Amino acid sequence: MSTLHSIQARTGQTLGAPLDASTPAQVDAAAVAAGAAFPAWAASTGAQRATLLRALADALEGDREGLVALADEETALGPVRLNGELDRTTFQLRRFATIAETGVPFALTDDPAVAGAPPVGHPAMVRQQVPLGPVAMFSASNFPFAFSVLGGDTASALAAGCPVVIKAHNGHLLLSNRVFGLIQQVLTAQGLPAGLVGMVQGGGRDVGVRLVRHPAIAAGAFTGSTQGGAALQAEASARPRPIPFYGELGSINPVVALPAVLAAKGADLATLMAGSITLGCGQFCTSPGVLVLVDDPASDAFVQQLQAALAPLNPHPMLTPAMRAAFDRGVEHLVQAGASPLLHEPTTANAPRPFLAQVDAATFIASEALREEVFGPSQVIVRAADVAQAVQVLEAVGGSLTVTLWGAETESDEARALVRAAMNIAGRVLFAGVPTGVAVTAAQQHGGPWPSSTQPMTTSVGDAALTRFLRPVALQDAPAWLTARAGRPV
């Protein structure tokens, strides 16, 4: 049996006792246990699901001090950020509890029989939703609470009636095990099977691939790198019985800033942008990796303002040494691809310095390497000759979680062209502020065309995240006992 070690983010030293990696037999057992728990949980009421989700939120809050301290050691994200993230996690759990309690997973369309011959006449039809089955959930590195063991994927899957088997992230193993211990205590207290929420762990690809391949698993949910997500999606599709794989992957989140708004409030926007680039050491899926400027004196001035705002900022250490090494490689690839550095201070310290570079639009459009995500505090400024070329830059991006448009408040041909291009490539289009920060709300869309996600019609954040784990079924001339269940699966 191989062993795993948690790493203290600030020092790079091992933290705590070694942990055992899950064996193939243990991965299989977790999937089988989830499959055994599925029928009863799929048939549970919204009130039963809500009771579990609220108890899980209470358990997190009851162990807040210990959880945040441990998360800070493993991630260096700081207690302020981590307390806020824990609050978001409990908010998500309770929000999905309310969604389940109010009957959203059991919503149905009742289409009574119509007498006569087709096509006007038809039998009685009821269209409802059923849970997919056990979900393989892959924790993210950069959100040790909100996109991890009890994050939004777990909360929405449980609310939909699906058991979950979690693949813990190696960046916060001790925290994951502590949270998983809380889950098991809650399940025991409520008389629910331990297999309703399982967890496996391990380095490399073997554990995750085996989990996705297991025939008891009915769907996958992933937040992480494009490379890792694409590999798991391929595994999900190659199964004898393929399953849906909901991956939220890499994104460069372009921001287009028009000259008029920069002339009016460039200094303030530069400060705002610098904070977004370095927030969480740039380890956000919505970090603004590309800034598109239209040639103009106001744009020239903004580049200087952004440099001045970024230069004194000192991000905290990255989550893992591997991520730090990947950031350094990514920065060098940008330079090799033609980006001219404006701020570039290589350092051997655990915390990187912000990176800012500039390139002309034609070079950016021609070079795929310049459009790859660099996970960390970096941004490439793309200089476009006009709005038409800025639209071409967006089209070259292909797919992004977000696009931000500064200065499109007044309707015009150019504004419409930018909005149309932004909506074509992104799941969320902003007209103010910065893309970092994703609200958990009814209208949220966190997912976009490839490579930002594997299923652009779905979201991993917000109320609609629950629908990923439900499948529609039509019941024709159903007996009264079945329709009396009001959408709750048998």
Could you confirm whether 414 is annotated as catalytic?
no
Residue 77 C-alpha from the chain's centroid: 18
The catalytic residue among 73, 248, 373, 414 is: 248
Q: Give the pLDDT score at 25.
A: 98
pLDDT tens-digit readout, 407-452: 999 999 999 999 999 999 999 999 999 999 999 999 999 999 999 9
Residue 322 has pLDDT above 90, yes or no: no
Every domain of the chain with CATH number 3.40.605.10 lies at 3-249+453-483
pLDDT tens-digit readout, 120-162: 999 999 999 999 999 999 999 999 999 999 999 999 999 999 9
Residue 356's pLDDT band, with cuts at 50, 70 and 90, is very high
429: three-class secondary structure by DSSP? strand
pLDDT tens-digit readout, 247-284: 999 899 999 999 999 999 999 999 999 999 999 999 99
| CATH of the domain spanning 255-430 | 3.40.309.10
Q: How many residues are recorded in the chain?
A: 490
Which residues have a Cβ under 8 Å from the Cβ of 325 and sit 6 or more positions away? none
- Tokens at 344, concatenated: 């570039």
Every domain of the chain with CATH number 3.40.309.10 lies at 255-430
Nearest to 306 by CA among 354, 347, 338: 354
Q: Give the pLDDT score at 320.
A: 87
Interatomic CA distance for residues 299 and 296, integer angstroms: 5
Question: How far does the chain reach from its first CA to its final CA, in angstroms?
Answer: 41
Q: Give the pLDDT score at 463.
A: 97
Phi, psi values for residue 23, rounded to 5°: -80, 165
Per the listing, tokens 């060098």 go with 332
DSSP 130-141: EE---EEEE--S
Residue 130 C-alpha from the chain's centroid: 24
Interatomic CA distance for residues 152 and 150, integer angstroms: 7
Burial (CB < 10 A; 0-12, 13-18, 19+), residue 65, is exposed
Cis peptide before 79 (omega within 30 of 0): no
Residue 167 has pLDDT above 80, yes or no: yes
Hey, which residues does 429 pair with through a beta bridge?
403
Interatomic CA distance for residues 37 and 120, integer angstroms: 43
412: three-class secondary structure by DSSP? coil
Interatomic CA distance for residues 153 and 460, integer angstroms: 7
Could you confirm whether 162 is annotated as catalytic?
no
476: three-class secondary structure by DSSP? strand
Per the listing, tokens 């020092």 go with 11
Interatomic CA distance for residues 356 and 344, integer angstroms: 7
Phi, psi values for residue 428, rounded to 5°: -140, 130
Interatomic CA distance for residues 253 and 401, integer angstroms: 6
Rg (CA), the chain: 24
The amino acid present at 393, given as its one-letter code, is: V
The catalytic residue among 74, 281, 285, 373 is: 285
Cis peptide before 119 (omega within 30 of 0): yes
Q: What's this model's pTM, rounded to 2 decimal places?
A: 0.95
**Helices marked H in 427-485 — which ranges?**
480-483
Angle at 49 between CA 47 and CA 51, to 5 degrees: 70
Output DSSP code: residue 111: E
CB 220 within 8 A of CB 244: yes
Residue 1's pLDDT band, with cuts at 50, 70 and 90, is low
Q: Residue range 93-104: average pLDDT?
A: 98
Residue 348 has pLDDT above 80, yes or no: no
Residue 103 has pLDDT above 70, yes or no: yes
Per the listing, tokens 């991993």 go with 460
DSSP percent split of the chain into helix, strand, coil, nearest 5: 45, 20, 35
Residue 82 has pLDDT above 70, yes or no: yes
Which residues in 393-423 are b (16+ Cβ under 10 Å) and which e?
A: bbebbbbbbbbbbbbbeeeeebbebbbebbe
Which residues in 175-202 are b (16+ Cβ under 10 Å) and which e?
A: bbbbbbebbeebbeeeebbebbbbbbbb
CB 30 within 8 A of CB 198: yes
Q: Chain-wide mean pLDDT for the chain?
A: 96
- Tokens at 413, concatenated: 């041909």
Interatomic CA distance for residues 157 and 49, integer angstroms: 10
Phi, psi values for residue 415, rounded to 5°: -65, -45
| CATH of the domain spanning 3-249+453-483 | 3.40.605.10
Q: Would you tell me how many other CB atoms lie within 10 Å of the CB of residue 58? A: 15
Which residues have a Cβ under 8 Å from the Cβ of 464 and sit 6 or more positions away? 442, 444, 445, 458
Nearest to 200 by CA among 20, 71, 5, 60: 20
